[in-house]
Amino acid sequence: METAQFEANFADAVVRSFRDDAIRTAVLIDDQFPTYLQMHGANLKDDFKEFKRAANLYSFFHQRGLICDIENWRNPEDADLELIDKARKSDLVVLDYQLGAGGPKTALEILRHLAVSAHFNLVVLYTNDPLTKVALAAAAAMRGVAPPDPKLVPTAEVLGEAAAILDREEFREVDSAGLVAYLTRGETPWKADIQAAMAEAGMHLRSLRPLTSYIARRWIQQVSEGYTPAEGPILELRCDLGVAGAMWIHCGSCFVAVVDKLKAGADQDEGNYVWNRVGAALRAWRPNFYRLVLSEIQNALELEAVADHEAWLDDNLCLGLGLYLLESDDAAAGKMEAVAVAGSAQSLIDRFVDLIRRRLATHLKITETATHMLSARLSTALSAPGLGESSRHVRARQLAHVAADTACDWQEKVLPAVNAFMMSDEFRGGHITTGSVLQSDGAHYWLCVSPACDLEPRETGPVLMQVIRLSPRPSTDKYSTGEHIVIATEKGPAVLTALNALNRQPSLKVILLPNGAGVVRDGNSPPMLTGWFASTMAPSAFGPTVVGAAPTTAAAEAPAEAGEPAPAAHSEVGTAFTVVAQLRGTFATRFLLAAGQHLSRVGVDFIDL
């Protein structure tokens, strides 16, 4: 297939998946649109100048079979969190940039709220203002702004000294391309220019970084009309503001098409106009193959009748599940401890989720889209591979939409990332189980390899848990040897060796958990539990303890292998463990078998000449 034809077909699939199949509900938010309740008894022409535009948009969505609501939020206090959540639950939000007395502030707050939410939203940011300025303000608001580093805040004396420089047109007027580079990649293209200006003015260059940062923040204030984006987590941002008819912003859980309003009197076909502009923005976005597959999965999941699935309606099955949840008469009488109730509920949820997973894995439309697009991509011509790369690398770049001239660290960055995805996931359960990865003292890692049935939370501690000592290692190009696991951490993927490279045996330890396998969560802190290494246990270990208490260090036990760090030994309070990841099922089982083989090994003698 010709590459141009493939790109056109892929763009069609993106529009179908993200727009045509995904949008089922819409909400119109404009201070000049009357809500349904305001349509009765209101003087529409006097009170709402754009009621005809609202009628045209509503009529279009109604004809497409979409559920459509209208809000105007003329006063900033009207846009409270509950009403913003109404927008979040809508698949398409047509949002006016200037909302009454609030100006752009309300719209920018809504966009940030949508960006950090879990629900994916398509937004049409509808405006009469200059598109580039609106797009920059929206991008800054959605991304968020980190609190300024005190070292990068120029003093009043420095600002006074640099006043003439800062008043130059190239630093006073917003550089759109430069601000986009700052918001998307953290770059400051104007740094060289301000450095030259400072040298020309005889200023000391120690103020270069503070002034460079000051210019970026001042530009953000200018495009946002004084609104200060919320300080909080900085989200990854991508955008393209180069084509007026297809401006787009993608940040967090929100995709925004920046669209200029039709002139009054030309809005009869407003619905088609907005719909097509969304399509043009999606085509310009060009999400990669993997995002397309995930979109298809999301669309299928939205239509699955989970609550009324025929396999879950049988009375005999429901009665049997009750017996599964309640293993004894004491449990039926409500004498189960809270951790046991949570464990029973989690086990039931696991069974249901696995059923949904199997249904989605064999979903016809998802399979057809993924197979067709992958086959079509593989049928296009291959470009010449770069230095040190092969045709396999070229195809990987094409599928991920990573340009040929973009540097890729295949061994240190790419392989750890994909192996972490394949092997592990975030720990979400209420108790540790086979394959849970624990961290102690901030540096030592352990992999739980006790059978899951020995860690059921239905029985409280003490519980003995078997773990493999994990050793941090640099990345390798041979993960298929099965010696390593990779987990995702805040600092990026961590590569850990689980088996000795020479004898392929694990280093096993035993930990006693006095409170059982349940974990304790304190707000947003990672899940924790406390235990003792068997070789350093104090008699008090067999009594309940407080999770997360400060450990008391005693003499460390000898390392099992030369060169490895010894686990910390604790006499009274135990070791605090943080649960940092969970291996996926097959990988957890593989290391469970490796531990079992190690424990059941038989020593034999052979005679060599």
The helix/strand/coil state of 146 is coil
Identify the pLDDT of residue 244: 86
CB 253 within 8 A of CB 114: yes
Percentage above 70 pLDDT, the chain? 85
Lowest mean pLDDT: which of 31-40, 222-231, 318-327, 403-412? 31-40
The single residue listed with the structure tokens 């200059």 is: 130
Tell me which amino acid residue 377 is.
Answer: R
Compare 350 and 238 and report the one with higher pLDDT: 238
Nearest to 380 by CA among 293, 289, 279: 289
Tell me how far apart the alpha carbons of residues 580 and 575 are, in angstroms, rounded to a whole number: 15
Q: Is the pLDDT of residue 7 over 50?
A: yes
The better pLDDT of the pair 151, 116 is held by 116
* Pick from 2-16, 29-43, 105-119, 318-332: least confident: 29-43
* Structure confidence at residue 313 as a pLDDT band (50, 70, 90): low
pTM: 0.81
pLDDT at position 45 is 65
**CA dihedral sign of residues 476, 481, 485, 488:** positive
The whole-angstrom separation of Cα 236 and Cα 234 is 7
Whether 88 has a pLDDT exceeding 60, the answer reads: yes
What would the two tokens of residue 547 be? 């999770």
- Say whether pLDDT at 267 is over 70: no
How far is residue 498's CA from residue 518's CA, in Å, rounded to a whole number?
A: 24
Task: Write down the mean pLDDT value for the chain.
Answer: 84
The pLDDT tens digits for 92-111 are 999 999 987 778 988 998 89
pLDDT level of residue 259 (50, 70, 90 thresholds): very high
Top-confidence residue, 413 or 80: 413
- Higher pLDDT residue, 144 or 460? 144
Q: Hunting for tokens 């629900």 — which residue is that?
A: 119
The CA-based dihedral angle spanning residues 563, 490, 398, 365, taken in that order and rounded to the nearest 10 degrees: 120
282 vs 20: CA distance, rounded Å: 11
At residue 74, the pLDDT reads 64
**For residue 482, is pLDDT > 60?**
yes
Whether 284 contacts 243, CB under 8 Å:
yes
Task: State the DSSP string of 315-356.
Answer: HHHHHHHHHHH--SHHHHTT---HHHHHHHHHHHHHHHHHHH
- Ranges of beta strands (E only) in 113-270 are 121-127, 237-240, 247-251, 254-260
